[in-house]
Amino acid sequence: MAPQDFTAPAGPASSEHLLDSTLETIDAAEALVTEAAQRLGIDEDDIPGLGMAIRECVANAVVHGNRYSTKKKVYLRVWVGEKSLEVLVGDEGDGFAVTDVPDPLAEENIMKQSGRGILLIRAFVDEFAVRKREPQGTEVRLVKHLPQ
Amino acid sequence: MSLNMTTRQVGDVTVIDASGRITLGEGSSAFRDMVRDLASQGHKKLLLNLGDVSYIDSSGIGEMVSGFTTVTNHGGMLKLLGLNKRVKDLLQITKLYTVFEVFDDEAEGVRSFQ
């Protein structure tokens, strides 16, 4: 499961949010992004999946990245384009390599309790990429396109 | 909306009626506690009714897998009932349809334990 190339969005974000490393942030991020998706006109049937991708992404930032630290923030930036919705989620954790995440569909991992978040993110967005965030942390880019 | 769960007996099958969301935090931990308690109390035939569960995330899925293992380790079985399309899709994506027995009809689910 190699990550796609990380191309930073051009131009200023439509909205930017600095969020605490709490579980409430997951709900808030989902609400912000799904509202933007509805505004853009993304298919109603695709919005719950997009919401799940955002939840998984922000949960990773809060739980695995920032480890609920009150000193660390989650960065959420949303670009509402003409044909796509683009989201960056950043944390201030120690970082991780997507390629180090075990394949949750491998027979030996099917019964593991955790490790399915990235699989679900990939399932519900059109583009997914991860890069190291400077000076510290991880940044994840998600893109959902409008239907052609 | 958080997770609410109640149990009822249909013969020797314990049906867990869940409603709300099984997500990271209170929802998934409440689910974990319920399944562990039932397994340790000797309930061996568990049918988890997800008909009113609107949303499950990866944490919730993890707790379902963990619950399946817990019940199996106590000599019992955990089966699923009444999944909506979104939850069915999640089981497909995660390949867990190969692990869980899933039923649309409660009577059929109950009979499957006999």
- Report the residue of chain A nearest B97, measured CA to CA: A110
DSSP A65: I
User: What's the residue count for chain B?
Assistant: 114
Indicate whether A1 pLDDT > 50. no
Average confidence (pLDDT) over A44-53: 94
Strands B45-56 and B77-81: parallel
Question: Which domains are seen in chain A, by residue range?
Answer: 15-145 (3.30.565.10)
**Residue B19: which pLDDT band, with cuts at 50, 70 and 90?**
very high
Indicate whether B42 pLDDT > 50. yes
Average confidence (pLDDT) over B22-38: 92
Indicate whether A109 pLDDT > 80. yes
Partner-chain residue, chosen from B25, B94, B98, that has the shortest CB–CB distance to A116: B94
pTM score = 0.91
CA end-to-end span of chain B: 35
Indicate whether B14 pLDDT > 90. yes
Question: Which residues in chain A have Cβ-Cβ distances shorter than 8 Å to B98?
Answer: 110
Domain map of chain B by residue range? 4-107
Here the ipTM equals 0.89
pLDDT of residue B1: 58
Average confidence (pLDDT) over A56-79: 96
Q: Which residue has the higher pLDDT, A4 or A110?
A: A110
Residue B19: which H helix or E strand, with range? strand B13-22
pLDDT of residue A134: 87
Contact A90, A58 (CB under 8 A): no
- Residues of chain B whose beta carbon is less than 8 angstroms from a beta carbon of chain A are 23-25, 55, 57-59, 61-63, 65-66, 68-69, 86, 90, 93-96, 98-99
Average confidence (pLDDT) over A114-119: 96
Contact A74, A25 (CB under 8 A): yes
DSSP B112: T
Query: To 5 degrees, how large is the angle CA B21–CA A74–CA B56?
Result: 15
CA-CA distances (angstroms) from residue B95 to A45, B86, B90? Answer: 22, 14, 8
User: Which residue has tokens 């799940």?
Assistant: A52
pLDDT of residue A98: 86
CA-CA distances (angstroms) from residue B108 to A1, A36, A122, B102? Answer: 39, 43, 35, 10
What is B4-107's CATH topology? Transcription Regulator spoIIAA (3.30.750)
Q: CA B49, CA B104: separation in Å to the nearest integer?
A: 9
Residue A135 preceded by cis peptide, ω within 30: yes
Mean pLDDT of chain A, nearest integer: 92
Minimum distance, in Å, between the CA of residue A137 and any CA atom of chain B? 22
**Residue A9: which pLDDT band, with cuts at 50, 70 and 90?**
confident
Contact A17, A76 (CB under 8 A): yes
